[in-house]
Structure 1
């Protein structure tokens, strides 16, 4: 397995076989036949030459409509999990939130979604060491996988940095004062499917240099353990395995590029890795 393999795995979706759905002329997502047909039966959308069109209703009415659809499909077993967290529905990064829906519905409906991921690291005499989290075995998604020190989806009603500060404390016990020192470093984007849903994700990435004495403590039960590893050891794990959650590989590779650990001299695929950090289209 190579670094590039992880980008291929993350950006693996061909949407040509999916049906797009719209609000007026604004593309909001893609669905497969099971959710397409259920949505037609439910009155979530109607078919047109363009694709599927949702009702011309105000924001509050659409919030309620999609909430009822999420509840019904979850109770019927079509929607496979539930978080109870509203996510914003947008046509693009710059688009205002049009309405909200249950977080777990965003993948089967192929919505554009956002997240915040943080690389917590320590500078030592030997070089950079990276804090790595191991996801709880009780997580509904990717249980037991290695993860970034902090990461979370972007819910409705919070700013990106506000969400990062919240996630820092909940997942790693990083204080607000410490979290406020995090530096925004760019984005990672991809279009991924596991066969059940479509993840059109934009991850906002941050770096946070931590003191040697810092010890992370998880407060929300989502992390089983933490370990601090030399960056070369972390990269070796990535290069040889799929031990990390698929998108975290990309965030760490990006970190290694920006900090000069991976270079054009020591990494033959360096230029392609740089180019593919943002791959999201349509």
Structure 2
């Protein structure tokens, strides 16, 4: 079994194997695509769909859905797999939550995923912007589904969770609905030094455990495969997530954004993804998505549909 050495750096070397035929990208160019694109840029917003070069942007935007990226487009960390640019952010807009809510209302979306860059330069890591965006959305439409996909808030996780929960609990009873709190562990612990510099596996589990302990919150995480992890390592991570209280999980194929990013070591066959899905369900996860093009926010709205 191929294992990637922990000292491998992002490189312009080619992927270890050729892309298989089962990797397909739906470009999606129907009427909803243009409408989503117009709303995002009219309100001067960022989406992880664009910034991270997600392979599902065409499909999702054609369905009229998008994952909004808060706190600008510059991340304070430099993960070896991620296409979002890194640097020292100089952008913080207190009106951003209002613009996100306005775009969501314009698009008539029913389920929203809110993510962000890492903002280690901010005392609260950006938790206040997440909380205010949640408030703006729920006050405009009390029935809208909201899912977070947050950083690890390494400055003070307890304070970040408290900021969000205080805002949620202060909402009127008729709009105080459940929240999905996602944070992606991304890969197995052995590969963190290569793939997730600045992050720690234990710290990510800690945030997920804190979120899972909150009333009305379901914790969610995701793994990307193909960086050289073993099957046993993946199963161990799934076990750790369940112990932390995570109830929802997705697994997808790592696709290299450019030659400057970590190479793909292996392409996981769809049958193997199906086996991981079966194993996750056997562990007790109540929502599982696994497949080559699955991403953490891919068809996330099914969570809301299944809960009805």
| Same fold by TM-score greater than 0.5 | no
More strand by percentage = 1
Larger Rg, first or second structure (1 or 2): 1
More helix by percentage = 2
Q: Under TM normalisation by the shorter chain, which class is it?
A: under 0.3
